[in-house]
Amino acid sequence: MRLVIKLAGALLDDTAAVENIAQQIAQLARAGHELLVVHGGGKIFTATLARMGIQSNFVNGLRITDRETRDVGVMVFAGLLSTRLAAAISRQGVPAVGVSAADGECFTAEPMQLGEKPGALGFVGYLTGANVEFIESLWRAGVVPVAPCLGMGADGELYNINADHMAAACAEFVRADRLIFLTDVAGVLDGEKVLQALSSEECEELIRQNKVSGGMVLKLEACKRALSGGVRQVRIVGGGVPDGLLRAANGSKFPGTKVTPLFPVKRTRLPRHTAESLEAEHEVVNR
Ligand SMILES: Nc1ncnc2c1ncn2[C@@H]1O[C@H](COP(=O)(O)OP(=O)(O)OP(=O)(O)O)[C@@H](O)[C@H]1O
Ligand SMILES: [Mg+2]
What is the per-residue pLDDT across 53-100, written as a single tens digit (0 to 9) for each?
998 888 777 789 999 999 999 999 999 999 999 999 999 999 999 999
| Residue bearing the CA closest to ligand 1, atom 15 | 215
Strand pairing of 158-160 and 178-183?
unpaired
Q: Which CATH architecture has domain 2-280?
A: 3-Layer(aba) Sandwich (3.40)
User: Considering only CA atoms, which of 80, 81, 84, 74 is closest in space to residue 107?
Assistant: 74
Q: Of 185, 193, 241, which is best to mutate to test ligand 1, by the most ligand atoms within 8 angstroms of its C-beta?
A: 185
Identify the pLDDT of residue 267: 66
Please give the distance, rounded to the nearest whole angstrom, from the Cα atom of residue 27 to the centre of ligand 2.
26
Residue 151: strand pairing partners: 159
Higher pLDDT, 121 or 35: 35
Sketch the domain layout of the chain as residue ranges.
Answer: 2-280
Identify the pLDDT of residue 159: 97
User: Roughly what angle, to the nearest 10 degrees, separates helices 42-51 and 67-74?
Assistant: 120
- Nearest bound ligand to the CA of residue 207: 1
- Nearest bound ligand to the CA of residue 187: 1
- Where does residue 149 fall: left (phi above 0), alpha (psi -120 to 50 degrees), or beta otherwise? beta
SS3 at position 220: helix
Please give the distance, rounded to the nearest whole angstrom, from the Cα atom of residue 248 to the centre of ligand 1.
18
Radius of gyration for the chain, computed over Cα atoms and rounded to the nearest angstrom: 17
Assess contact for 111 and 120: CB atoms under 8 A: no
